[in-house]
Chain A
Amino acid sequence: MNAVGILFRRELGAYFATPLAYVYTTIFLMLAGVFTFYLGNFYERQQADLVSFFNFHPWLYLFLVPAVSMRLWAEDRRSGVIELLMTLPVRNFELVLGKFLAAWVFTGLALALTFPVWLTVSYLGDPDHGVILASYLGSWLMAGSFLAVGSCMSAATRNQVIAFIFTLVTCFIFIVSGFSMVLDAFSGWAPTAVLDAIAALSFLTHFDAIAKGVISARDLLYFVGMIVVWLLATSIVIDLKKAE
């Protein structure tokens, strides 16, 4: 197994070494349920799909992903373990990748545990399973993008609370940039190209497209690109800030 795999295993194990993972997963599942069935009017809609479930995911992630990502680096910097890690014969990006993948798989596990919703809708009607699968994929990719942002914020500080808040704010900006009320503020004076660029940066625009069951290269590229860019930024920030 290479270094990324070893780091990945250690990090993933660390989630389950404390009750944090279980608490987090429970909260995630409970909120997902509340959003879907009460706020999303799952039953009242009388439609065999999971739109009311996936629609709330960006907002769920907005609060829950920063809670996962805040400790990625901040914790190691506070405890000084980062010095140990970075003097082991491991490349910087291997560390960044190992930590990120562990967090991503962990959120993936939490997401996978929402499968009863899928079972429910299958029992009640005849949903399009392809669309649901695509939505799950889109949701997981979006979680990855949130995590990558969080990884960078966590690298920039040794205070987990600050990492949490910065991640939340940054992700919030990336969500609302696709909202019509935000775009309206620009539409009066900004050229269409700028408007499109702002809308194209939004998590929502791309997530909605995938959630409709259309997996286009453009949307996949967006999420993968977001992850890569923010992880590269993490790597740079770690290098700059490790001494402090």
Chain B
Amino acid sequence: MIELKSLTKRFGSFTAVDGISLSVQSGEVLGFLGPNGAGKSTTMKMLTGFLPPTAGTAVVNGCDVQENTLQAQRQIGYLPEGAPLYGDMSVGRFLRFIAEIRGFRGGEAEKRVLQSVDRLELRGVYHQSIETLSKGFKRRVGLAQAILHDPKVLILDEPTDGLDPNQKHQVRQLIQALSQDKIVVISTHILEEVSAVCTRAVIISAGRVVADGTPVELEQRSRHHQAVSLVMNAEIDVSSLRGLPGVADVQTDESGQQVTVFPANGQAIFPHVQALVQEKGWQVEAMHVERGRLDEVFREITIGGAQ
């Protein structure tokens, strides 16, 4: 379990993290969201014992990161932002170094290295020096180093940043496979990632938690939640849609054929819209109910939070 208690970090007069309190349980994949400079990385740096907090505490599985730093760090696998690595080492040597530092010796160290090499499909570049690798491979070496000791807590700062769509998919699958008995905290500003892998999303802005819930709960805050999108094959008169019960607004695109009907307070308006379509005999090419848009919620919350 991770517990943050009013964790605060100030750099001079600038407050990067402003009293964040959170509790994360085993099995949760926590997505840390926020605009650049919101304090995501700083929070992670305090959680991993790299930076001392100005105030507050971070506790990892009962170990205070400040007082019992090494004990806490043993349980954490960490991928720092940008996946910094020793460029002059080969992948194999580097992972071996990490394994030894983590306290594994001889055959056990060998086994651990090979396991994480297999997990991240690094066999092909095992003997290659890290500085010659592509960005995607470097990121995977960074991940391999983080999972090598099978940590209870995985903290990944932008794990998919700079990867191509296939690699992103791969990393997400890995995170999901790892998350069963672990805590995974990832920071990202890619919102689709949150829906794809996280069981919980925490949005921070200007160093404060401004939203905390499951991705679905956050989507429900969007005005697109339960909205009905229609694609017509001819322009229609939308005034009748506006008159339906529970409808807050109707928008059409320039062609007038793409129509979005927004509900008031997230009510289910689909049956009404469907009934109206049949009654009017409109030719509809496509029609679907939207789940809600995270990016919209994100914008609303973070811009509102900064003001």
Contacts and interface: CB of A to CB of B under 8 A. Distances in A.
Interface string B66-94: 00001101101010111011111100010
Contacts of B145: 84
Nearest to A80: B84
Interface stretch (A87-95, A172-180, A224-232): A87-95
B49 interface: yes
A244 B95 CA distance: 27
A17 to B, nearest CB: 4
A7 B89 CA distance: 13
A81 B84 contact: yes
B100 A6 contact: yes
A44 B78 CA distance: 63
B46 to A, nearest CB: 10
Interface string A158-176: 0000000000000000000
B73 A14 contact: no
Contacts of B71: 89
Contacts of A83: 45, 50, 80, 84
B123 interface: no
Contacts of B102: 88-89
B48 interface: yes
Given A83-B80, A242-B50, A6 B88 contact: no
Interface string A11-27: 00110011000000000
B98 interface: yes
A124 B100 CA distance: 50
A3 interface: yes
A88 B105 CA distance: 16
A89 B74 contact: yes
Interface in B15-57: 45, 48-51
Interface string B141-176: 000010000000000000000000000000000000
B88 A14 contact: yes
Contacts of A7: 101
Given A1-B100, A87-B73, A243 B51 contact: yes
Interface in B82-141: 82, 84-89, 93, 97-98, 100-103, 105, 129
Interface residues of B, number: 31
A90 B103 CA distance: 10
A130 B9 CA distance: 58
A88 B80 contact: no
A10 interface: yes
Nearest to B49: A87
Contacts of B93: 13
Most buried by B among A81, A86, A90: A86
Contacts of B84: 79-84
Contact of A81 (B51, B85, B129): B85
Most buried by A among B70, B84, B93: B84
Contacts of B80: 80, 83-84, 87
A6 B98 CA distance: 9
A79 B103 CA distance: 25
A148 B69 CA distance: 26
B50 A87 contact: yes
B11 A243 contact: yes
Contacts of B101: 3, 6-7, 88-90
A90 B71 CA distance: 10
A80 B82 contact: yes
Contacts of B70: 89-91
B88 A84 contact: no
B105 to A, nearest CB: 8
Most buried by A among B86, B93, B145: B86
B130 to A, nearest CB: 11
Contacts of A86: 49-50
A90 B49 CA distance: 11
A7 B100 CA distance: 10
A6 B102 CA distance: 10
A94 B73 CA distance: 15
A17 B97 contact: no
A88 B73 contact: yes
Nearest to A90: B101
A99 to B, nearest CB: 13
Q: When A and B form their complex, which 4 residue pairs have the shortest distance between CB atoms, in order from nearest?
A: A80-B84, A87-B48, A17-B88, A89-B73
5 contacts: A17-B89, A79-B84, A86-B50, A87-B73, A242-B50
